[in-house]
C-alpha cells in the first residue's frame, strides 16, 4: 500500500492577501532574506514522500523552472509501485508550496537539499532532476557525493543553457497578466490563458504554467516567485564553475526533439561526470517525463538495475 506523507506546507512565505488593491497578478511575499556574500541559508522545503523499502536507496525528483513537485505525481507513483522504493518529490524554493526567498542560486538550492535529505533519512539517494532541477542535482552530487548514490540529469547539461526556451519572455508575460479581483476561477484561468497565448503558443505548456495561479480570498496570485526568478534568470541559465568530479553512476536522459544538450557540452559532462552515459528518448521534447512518461519510467528503471 502506498502512503503519501506531506510536510512543510508552511504558514510563513505562503499566499497571504495584503488587503491592498492591485492591477496585475502579484506573487506571494518573500519570507527569507540573505546578506550579499553570506552562506546560503537552507529553507524548509515542501515535499511529498511515497513510502517504500528502506533498505533500497530512495528516488528523489527535482522539478524544473516554473514547475512543482506535482509535475512528477504519476511518475513517482509508478516508480514506487514498480521498484518498491521510497520516492520523494520536492518543491524548490520560490516554487510550489515552498517558502520564497530573494536568493535563487544553485548553491542555495543545493543547501536546501543538503538539509532536507539527511533529515528524512534518504541518503544516499538516487537523485533525478529535470532542467533547473537537473542543475541543482548535479551541483549537489559534485559538492556532496556521499549523499548521492547515483544521478540522473534530464535534458540539461552542466553548462550555460542557451537553447531558445524563451523562459525570459514567459516570466515577463506571467508578470504582466491582469486579473480583476473577485473574478470566478474559471474565468480567471481563461483570461490568463488568453493573455499568455501571444507568448506561449503551446496550449499544454500554458496549462502547465497556469497550475501556478492560485486564488486566496478572492484574489489571484502566482505561487511561484516571479520577481526572484526574473532577477536571477541569468544565474538559473548558468551553472557554477566546479573543479571536482562526481564519481558515481550518472545518466543524462535527453529528449530526442530537444536542443538543450548539445554535442559541444559532452567534454564538460565527461570532465565532471566521468561515469556518465547518454540515453535519448525518441519523440520527446524538453519535458521528457511529460511527453513520454512510460519511456521515461523504463529508462529510470533500467538505470536503477
Active site residues: 131, 227, 286
Name the grid cell of 212: 501556478
Cα separation values, 124 from 5, 54, 57, 86, 282, Å:
20, 11, 6, 12, 31
- 226-249: burial string, b at 16+ Cβ within 10 Å, e else: bbbbbebbebbbebeeeeebbebb
User: What's the N-to-C CA distance of the chain in angstroms?
Assistant: 23
Q: What angle do CA 251, 257, 260 make, to 5 degrees?
A: 60
Are 253 and 130 in contact by the 8 Å Cβ rule? The answer is no
d(CA 51, CA 239): 33
Closest CA to 8 of 42, 54, 58: 42
Closest CA to 248 of 151, 130, 122: 151
In DSSP notation, 180-193 reads -TT--HHHHHHHHH
13, 30 contact by CB (below 8 A): yes
Amino acid at each position: 500500500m502506498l502512503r503519501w506523507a506531506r510536510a512543510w506546507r508552511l504558514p510563513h512565505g505562503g499566499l497571504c492577501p495584503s488587503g491592498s488593491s492591485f492591477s496585475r497578478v502579484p506573487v506571494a511575499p518573500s519570507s527569507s532574506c540573505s546578506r550579499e556574500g553570506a552562506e546560503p541559508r537552507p529553507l524548509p522545503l515542501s515535499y511529498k514522500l511515497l513510502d517504500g523499502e528502506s533498505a533500497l536507496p530512495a528516488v528523489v525528483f527535482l522539478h524544473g523552472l516554473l514547475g512543482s513537485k506535482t509535475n512528477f505525481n504519476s511518475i513517482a507513483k509508478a516508480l514506487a509501485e514498480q521498484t518498491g522504493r521510497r520516492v520523494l518529490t520536492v518543491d524548490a524554493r520560490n516554487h510550489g508550496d515552498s517558502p520564497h526567498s530573494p536568493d535563487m542560486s544553485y548553491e542555495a538550492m543545493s543547501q536546501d537539499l543538503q538539509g532536507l535529505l539527511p533529515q528524512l533519512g534518504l541518503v544516499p539517494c538516487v537523485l533525478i532532476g529535470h532542467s533547473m532541477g537537473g542543475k541543482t542535482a548535479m551541483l549537489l552530487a559534485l559538492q556532496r557525493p556521499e549523499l548521492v548514490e547515483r544521478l540522473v540529469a534530464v535534458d540539461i547539461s552542466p553548462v550555460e543553457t542557451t537553447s531558445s526556451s524563451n523562459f525570459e519572455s514567459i516570466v515577463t508575460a506571467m508578470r504582466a497578466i491582469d486579473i480583476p479581483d473577485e473574478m470566478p476561477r474559471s474565468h480567471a484561468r481563461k483570461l490568463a490563458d488568453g493573455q499568455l497565448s501571444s507568448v506561449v503558443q503551446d496550449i499544454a505548456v500554458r496549462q502547465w504554467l497556469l497550475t501556478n495561479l492560485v486564488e486566496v480570498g478572492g484574489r489571484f496570485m502566482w505561487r511561484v516567485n516571479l520577481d526572484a526568478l526574473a532577477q536571477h534568470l541569468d544565474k538559473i541559465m548558468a551553472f557554477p564553475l566546479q573543479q571536482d568530479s562526481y564519481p558515481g553512476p550518472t545518466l543524462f536522459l535527453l529528449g530526442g526533439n530537444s536542443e538543450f544538450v548539445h554535442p559541444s557540452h559532452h567534454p564538460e559532462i565527461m570532465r565532471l561526470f566521468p561515469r556518465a552515459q547518454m540515453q535519448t528518448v525518441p519523440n520527446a521534447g524538453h519535458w521528457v517525463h511529460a511527453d513520454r512518461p512510460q519511456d521515461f519510467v523504463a529508462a529510470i528503471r533500467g538505470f536503477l538495475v
